[in-house]
Amino acid sequence: MEQVEGENATDGRGPSIFDTADSLPGHGDTSQVADDFYHLYAVDIAAMQLLGVKHFRFSISWSRVIPDGDGAVNQKGLDFYARLLDTLHAAGVEPLVCLYHWDLPQALQSNFGGWASDQIVPAFVKYAKVVFQALGDKSEYWTTFNEPITFCFLHYGAGTYPLFIKDLRQAWNCSYNVLRAHAAVVKEFRALVPGGRICMCLNSEWAVPLTNSTADVDAAQRKMEAELGIFADPIYKGDYPASMKQRISSLPKITPQLAHDLNGSMDYFALNFYTSTYVAADEGATCTWGRCDFTLSQTDKAGDLIGAEADSGWLKSTPWAFRPNLNWVNNRYHPKEIVVSEIGWDVKGEGTMPLMQALNDTSRIDFFRNYIPEATDAVNIDKVPLTGLFVWSLLDNYEVGAGYQNRFGVAHVDYRTQQRTFKASAMYLAGIFNSSMANASLTYPSVA
């Protein structure tokens, strides 16, 4: 998708909502080239082999497969993903494929309002069926959506890039249509990909009560229910959390038929986890971003930050929160399997560092060194059924809303030459992966 592939108008790919927003005057960075993964995927897969990577998560671009979102299929787009999947398998790397990572075909937004409209559901089902029929036998693990709370409540509710729409009712409609589309697509998946596993990839920030007061403790629970529960509760429990239904009059209704269709639609639970936030009760707070009657803060009452700062303003290091977040998911939903589909860290100031300084990314190593044991304890001590963990990301890439300044990769990318260079964190992870290269001086495979 737009964060790594580039070649946004090559081989029949149609424009996405990001291409449209990126073309606005004064926008700045665009994803037109990104990491040129469209041409360099084989180089990057060879790098995965060096590191000992056994699993790779990526997303398919809807507008590369169906350029206008709901019309003719672009065979060249499908062929690209077939080559990618075949190359992964040849390298011994198992893929996890996501159908939708926010890059909606622009035509669907222009024609009927995208995810805020009921018309999006059959269009998404058509796209998914095309992908499953062409590529379903090339991957066991799939996800329908990545972080729907983010694209529904940022793109449609908060007025941010790339849609700049500020309409909370559209955000609620988006979340409801995501549930409807997920249920319908899983039904097609079960028919077309027997033996495959599918879910929706959700995200949360661990909620820490600002004080020990009952009001703040309850508010922290409501925050978790509003962020994870808006999607996971209808799937696992048949309806939205009671705390949301009591506070949000415009919340769409989960019908008995939808509850039936959603039941059992998560073969595993995919969770993105990065950080935490303080939560304080505030009965006068406006309902936004799927949250109601509380406020969020990165500082405690003394003004101290909740954790060490990353480059992204929203990201603070809170490894102590990883284990309770996993337990919250496990205790509330009792999934058969949990996969952490993202953890990651962008080093403060890395985007302006000289190359040799950027390669010595000790704070990213510290992040992994502190977070990963928390997941291990959740498995060994708490018996959380965690089976895998994905790092965001292999490469520095086009970060949505931040461009190329924020770098999350364990491999540095020179965007002018597309030269990749392993950072120290790549060597650290290679040791965890038991790669024979872990103690070597790693050189990224040539991009020439």
Catalytic residue among 2, 5, 147, 399: 147
CA max distance for the chain: 61
Please state, in angstroms and rounded to a whole number, the distance separating the CA atoms of residues 360 and 364. Answer: 9
Indicate if 5 belongs to the active site. Answer: no
Please, what is the Cα angle at 45 between 42 and 46, to 5 degrees? 90
- Quick count: other Cβ atoms within 10 Å of Cβ 405? 15
Contacts of 326 (CB under 8 A, 6+ apart): 271, 273, 338, 340, 375, 378, 382, 384, 386
Q: Which residues pair with 203 in a beta bridge?
A: 272
Please state, in angstroms and rounded to a whole number, the distance separating the CA atoms of residues 62 and 65. Answer: 5
Could you tell me which of 89, 91, 100 has the C-alpha nearest to residue 138?
89
Catalytic residue among 2, 342, 350, 399: 342
Please state, in angstroms and rounded to a whole number, the distance separating the CA atoms of residues 219 and 237. Answer: 21
Whether a cis peptide bond, with omega within 30° of 0, leads into 162 is yes
Indicate if 309 belongs to the active site. Answer: no
Amino acid at 395: L
Pairing mode, strands 141-146 and 308-309: unpaired
Catalytic site positions: 147, 342
